[in-house]
Structure 1
Amino acid sequence: MASMTSIYAEHAARRPEQLAVKTADREVTWRQWHRLVLQTAGWFHSKRKQNKTVGIFMENGLPFLQLFTGAAAAGWTAVPLHPKWSRDELDKRLRICSPAIIVMADNLADRHFLSKTDVFSWEKASEEMQLLPADPVEEAQEDLPFYMGFTSGSTGEPKAFIRSQQSWLASFACSRHDFSLNEHEYVLVPGALIHSHFLYGAVSTLFLGGTVHLLEKFSPAAVLHVMKKETVTVVYLVPTMIEALLRTNTIVEKPFTVISSGAKWEKDSKRRIRMQFPRLKMFEFYGAGELSFVTFLSNNENGEKPDSVGRPCSGVAIQVRRENGEVAAPYESGKIYVKSELVCTGYLTARGIQPLQDGQGWSTVDDIGYLDNEGFLYIKGREKNMILYGGINVFPEEVEAVLSLHPKVEAAVVIGMKDPYWGEVIAAVIKGSAAKQELRQLCRERVASYKVPRKWFFQEELPMTAGGKIARAQLREELEKKEDSHV
């Protein structure tokens, strides 16, 4: 099996003038894109580094995608670094990944102290690339690392996971078989490439030979503008983006496909989006940065089993296990285990790479759920988010889904707060203008009484992780400090 970028030569030969990448201010054909990637790979080779790891410290755009694919072609490991990370967050991740080179956007030069490593501005790097010939490069080995991402461990500290080219090549089969995508797709990627959902959307489209349309940053107006102006066939979204589009009350009659992930796409949102986009096809998938694709829910299945996250993706096996390790019966909750070629190589530790797989090849990220009698998976929550209220397990995701049904709730987070009697009590943190009494009543109607939040907080903003998710540990710490100060 060749590397994930070697197929670009074929696309460039067959469709040289077709667009490969489009942004607000630039259009790049397949002939031009293939040349750019070869020059970028040549630039990496010219640095002659033993440690072939590059940090990409850039905002969204074509340069980010060019660096990522060029690094892959050269056999380097690319580490996306978020421009919104604080200095402390950035330094923690730099100590883990120890890049030999960092390429940064020119406008970020004064943003952070980076580390003792070779730092290139994009302006300087791109000038050097343009002087290089577009010579073919030696094929990168598919089992070598090419991508390093970060996730939070149980302590909230960052953990780095390593992906091989082989794992992403295997995942491209899911795009073909499960989502029915091909070389004729015009794919809108409106989210930041720092997030694996959007990065995968762009890179998989290029592998298939389609066209990627990148937005500099997400806005509902920008997405709708591109959809009306261009012949968009696929849009990669996350549920919060979908909600933002729904609030515009805009009707789009064109046919297109939405691929959603990152969080559970709620049933009511699925109902409403079909009203605004009547020719829509929807796909939802469940996965993780370490596991890649796990399950998917097709367009028809979204109507039949909207609460599920679907059936196993191509080449993926799933087990739900009890605490004693035995396989759970249908509808019995337990920890979800996955076996596939898509799983990451492992976590990067001081002692080397720690594999995710157990002795039989099964992996878990500690999500809890169950399978129905047809093999469709349902997610209850993540084990580390679970609230222990008087000895009873409560998954905050279930209560959050109910609170999000209120039209005046922009975001809802449910956490456990320390309590001397109950151990933990359920607290809801709301962004929006909904009244507490209405929210409490909504919960009473839809969940068991012990799951109704005992404490309520209303905030204008919620702390977010660099990955775009709610920083639960930080939020809990802030609220408990606030309560302690009033005692």
Structure 2
Amino acid sequence: MPITRSILATAAQHPDRPAIVGESAALSYAELAEDGRRVIAAVRHLLAQAPSLPTPATETQGAPVIAVSSTSAFEAARIMAGLAGYRAVSATIDPRWPVDHQRHVIAEVGIGLVIVDDDEAEARLRSALGPDWGGVVVPVQRFREIEAQVQPAEPPQVRDADEPYLMLFSSGTTSSPKAFLKTRGQYRANFAVSSRYLEPLPGVATLAPGAFAYSLTLYATVECLASGGEAHLADELSLPGLGQRVAQQRITRIVTVPAVLRGIIAQATRRPEDFAGLELIVVGGANLPNALREDLRRVLPHVRLISYYGAAEIGFIGDARGDDSTWNQIYDGVQVEIRDDAGHPVPDGEIGTLWVLADSRSDDYIAGTADVHLLDEHGWATVGDQGRAAVVGGERQLQLLGRKGDIINVGGHKVALPEVTRAYAGLTVAGKHREAVAVGLPDTALGTAVALVIEAGELVSADSGGPVCADSREQNGPAQALGEQLSKAALREHGRARLAPQFIPTKYYAVKALPRTVGGKVRTAETVKLIQAGGKGVVRL
């Protein structure tokens, strides 16, 4: 990891500088350097007490795997940082995963110690793992007590580049997570890219709200500590007092997701003075709606915005800045290639699967957690993202179009659903911003049709639903009120002004709320199921 050297150097030069700041606790760099000695000592003590430790996955090179499954971003961050200077693999398991998903990854990768929130979480996980699992589950408070009792270990050391350190997971919200490792060298390569483009500078106070299990939050913490900056964390993405915290803790940089950016814009509209010291917002995820850029510029014209694209398995790939989020510059040192289903490169401008060659890529998924491979025989990596490449403004750039399921065939034409979704970003109905998402639905004439689903909130009551035509004179009650606000003809004209003919939605629906992940992303597969099931809360326009 790139952080041990930086933690020790910053502790020596700026011992009182905040290193990790949570919602109710903080550690300076001097405290963090010493904290790691107690963390590893407590870990060794607990592992020594285990009756029969699981064998770590072969890919870990025999290093013990230590997992934190806690809602406290501060606890997860300090343990991750504390383990960095020792021979150990650190993992973060989202406590909101189904317990069966947690059991699966713990058993498959040979995790020996899991630190959880409380006694209830401990009992639940122990029951799921069963009597044959020989590892240790311990609540955070008990782990803290052991840290205070044991003799601190030897000082941390900068480790070899080829040692595995971080174990990360794909999303475990709807399917069993895939596990993969990052060596210290791979993360050093990752930091070399992000530090050049995303400005995690020494001494800069960065706020990264959200569960530490999110790769965005975890890496924002890593890059802050690697640069000698301040990592300010919040346990949830939803942070009503975000503006006050930005002002009080003198935050100049925020790393977050589009959902939080909307919240920042809303808070800045009411209290712009809270954000007077903010200089930069870095948003993870490609294809940030341009409407959000415009809204941020309107309320906080002094704040710069960078939206980056990357994959945890691969690393940072490119970013968009300025007025347009559609095309991403490709970072120096990163090579990209767009391929068809047979694995052959496609001409610029055509849609295909994105493959990347970068030093920060992982070697593969851990056996037993995935039935696919990350790399091809030449070392190129893919996570299945779809996109196109083309020369824009004199340089070859990248446009992301979602995962393979986001590309549908409509009457013989390839349609990228995220492009349709982008065209409807910033939709305002009844004086409020309404999020809309494009999905593909079966159609007898076209095979698949483009449908637009609008999150209409209070305009859809729990009693409205079914195949109701919004402009029908026969309807009444909530559906009639919805029809007065949402016109199918107006929505179609909105699309005609922004999209190619085959991209224009032919079906329109309104729902009270779109299905979302815990991170706030719309779950398109669940949205399709919701529409197909119909019933209450779904209105066809």
Task: Describe the SS at the equivalent of 2:448.
Answer: strand
What are the residue-to-residue correspondences of 1:68-87 with 2, within 5 Å? 68-87=80-99
Give a deviation string over 1:288-338, Cα, whole Å, max 9, x none. 1211100123xxx423x44212x2224212223345544444434332221
Cα distance in 2 for partners of 1:469, 1:98 equals 30
Q: Deviations over 1:124-178 (max 9, x none)?
A: 111111233152146544323322333269x955322322222111111123211
1:19 has 2:42 as partner: no
**Does residue 1:238 correspond to 2:250, yes or no?**
no
Residue 176 of structure 1 aligns with which residue?
195
Q: Which has the higher Rg, Structure 1 or Structure 2?
A: 2
Matched, 1:404 2:417: no
1:79, 1:149 within 8 Å by CA — same for their partners in 2? yes
**Given the alignment, which residue of 99, 115, 121 partners 2:139?**
121
Q: Any idea what the Cα deviations from partners look like across 1:409-462, whole Å, max 9, x if unmatched?
A: 543232222334432222333212562524333223222333233333333333
In the TM superposition, residue 111 of structure 1 has moved relative to its aligned partner by 8.3
How far 1:466 sits from its partner (Å)? 5.0
User: Which residue among 475, 479, 491 is the counterpart of 1:439?
Assistant: 491
Q: 2:409 aligns with which of 376, 379, 388?
A: 388
User: Please, which of 217, 231, 245 is the counterpart of residue 236 of structure 2?
Assistant: 217
Q: 1:108 to 1:175 in 2, by over 3 A?
A: farther
Greater shift in the superposed pair: 198-207 or 95-104: 95-104
TM-score computed with the length of structure 1 as normaliser? 0.88
**For residue 449 of structure 2, what is the aligned residue in structure 1?**
425
Q: 1:134 to 1:99 in 2, by over 3 A?
A: closer
Q: Secondary structure at the match of 1:457?
A: strand
- Structure 2 partner of 1:279: 302
Structure 1: gaps spanning 5 or more residues? none
Deviation readout 1:54-91 (Å, 9 max, x if unpaired): 23110133211112223333332233222222334434
Name the amino acid aligned to 1:99: I
Give the Å deviation of 1:189.
Answer: 1.3
Q: Tell whether the 8 Å contact from 1:220 to 1:245 is kept in structure 2 after alignment.
A: no
Provide TM-score, normalisation by structure 2.
Answer: 0.80
Q: Give the equivalent residue in structure 1 for 2:102.
A: 90
* SS of 2:309 mapped into structure 1: strand
Classify 1:253/1:350 alpha carbon distance in 2 versus 1 (closer, same or farther; 3 Å). Answer: closer
Structure 2 partner of 1:288: 311
3-state secondary structure, aligned to 2:322: helix
Separation (CA, whole Å) in 1 of partners of 2:450 and 2:96 = 30
The answer on 1:102 being equivalent to 2:111 is no
Change (3 A) 1:388 1:151: farther
Q: Which residue of 2 aligns with 1:187?
A: 206
**Residues 157 and 219 of structure 1, relative CA distance in 2, 3 Å threshold:** closer
**Displacement, 1:27?**
3.0
**Are the counterparts in 2 of residues 3 and 73 from structure 1 also a CA contact under 8 Å?**
no
Contact 1:239 / 1:263 at 8 angstroms: preserved in 2?
A: no
**One-letter amino acid of the counterpart of residue 527, structure 2:** L
Show the counterpart of 1:265.
288
| CA spacing shift, 1:95–1:45, aligned 2, 3 Å | closer
Q: 1:338 is aligned with what amino acid?
A: V
1:336-355 pair list within 5 angstroms:
336-350=354-368
Q: Distance in 2 between matches of 1:353 and 1:208?
A: 37
What is the SS of the residue equivalent to 1:203? helix
- What percentage of residue pairs aligned between the two structures are identical? 22
Q: Is the 8 A contact 1:417 1:425 kept in 2?
A: yes
Report the secondary structure of 1:429's partner residue.
strand
Q: How far apart in 1 are the matches of 2:369 and 2:292?
A: 45
**In the alignment, what sits opposite 1:54?**
66
Q: What is the CA–CA distance in structure 2 between the aligned matches of 1:468 and 1:221, rounded to whole Å? A: 15
- Cα distance change, pair 130–110 in 1 and its aligned pair in 2 (3 A): closer
Q: Is 1:451–2:503 an aligned residue pair?
A: yes
Distance across 2 between alignment mates of 1:125 and 1:397: 45
How many Å separate the matches in 2 of 1:451 and 1:307? 16
CA, structure 1 residues 61+180, in 2 after alignment: closer, same or farther (shift >3 Å)?
closer
Deviation at 1:266, TM superposition (A): 1.5
User: Kindly tell me: are residues 200 and 296 of structure 1, through their superposed partners in 2, closer, same or farther at Cα, counting changes over 3 Å?
Assistant: same
Distance in 2 (CA, whole Å) between partners of 1:280 and 1:418 is: 44
Gaps of 5+ in 2: 57-63, 460-484, 536-541
- What's the CA shift for 1:465? 3.5
